[in-house]
Structure 1
């Protein structure tokens, strides 16, 4: 029994029906939570060490690392019954969409730091870090997440190309 099946078996019936209906979104959200941890772990590691004076660069690197993890998890789990393109074409589209999402994600952090001047010496270190987290990891990531979910379903893993993958998945042993 898979993890998802175990969780669904323990979920009350009304909620179970909703989760099953929106299972792609639920899986996408779980992948997002995982990449959130990867993103922030790498960002703070870089930002508090070698890229202390360049938080936007550190965030961009962290987002790229998280995007690679996201591609593997989304392709092999969240959208495994969708898509069907040649893997290199699908990966190129995924990373093109993710590149646009990087820009979407960085805009709030950039505005916080450089337009609103929420950085040392204009504000305390605590205010700077709270503003960075709120703008880069909450607002930016949420905006990018909504954009990615829509774009992945529309262009990267479209349902109309998924028949071939659905046939492969149903033949695989569980």
Structure 2
């Protein structure tokens, strides 16, 4: 892995952790003190987390690209929704398909395996469809 590739992965991961912390903190506040329902709280915290991730990547990791208008943000949100669906699919397969119904199994499948697969999808989708130069992707990973 080249130095530029390491910097891209590290930047993406750092922004992702900040977005995750934002999502979790806001969800906790909206469910607790604000007393919102779980789906409303999660929808709002998800949008906030996506906004933090998009802004962090636009100003940091992919600052050398030129996303314009709302289209890149909309694509970014779509990529993140796809990642969330991957996490739900992993949880559903484990819980309902394989019969692994303990809290530990749910955590491993949804927040462990699902998060890892979703992060790979989000990284690829973000660099391929959201933050790219005029000629295509941000950089080459093929050699």
Structures share fold, TM-score greater than 0.5: yes
Distance 1:63 1:135, change over 3 A: farther
1:63–1:102 contact (8 Å) kept in structure 2: no
> Once structures 1 and 2 are overlaid, which stretch shifts more, 109-118 or 66-75?
109-118
Unaligned runs of 5+ in 1: 1-16, 52-56, 120-126, 163-174
Query: Match for residue 4 of structure 1?
Result: none
1:24 aligns with 2:2: no
Unaligned runs of 5+ in 2: 137-143
Distance 1:85 1:160 in 2: 10
Correspondent of 2:93 among 111, 124, 133: 111
Larger Rg: 1
Query: Match for residue 84 of structure 2?
Result: 102
Query: Match for residue 3 of structure 1?
Result: none
Counterparts of 1:1-174 in structure 2, within 5 Å, are 19-41=3-25, 51=38, 61=43, 63-82=46-65, 84-119=66-101, 127-128=102-103, 130-160=104-134
Shift of residue 94, structure 1, vs aligned partner:
0.7
> How many residues get paired?
131
Distance 2:135 2:59 in 1: 15
Shift of residue 19, structure 1, vs aligned partner:
4.7
Shift of residue 40, structure 1, vs aligned partner:
4.8
Task: Report the secondary structure of 1:87's partner residue.
Answer: coil
CA offset digits 1:79-102 (Å, max 9, x no partner): 1112x2323111111111112111
Shift of residue 42, structure 1, vs aligned partner:
5.7
Distance 2:93 2:115 in 1: 14
Task: Report the secondary structure of 1:143's partner residue.
Answer: helix
Compute the TM-score of the two structures, normalised by the length of structure 2.
Answer: 0.70
Compute the TM-score of the two structures, normalised by the length of structure 1.
Answer: 0.59
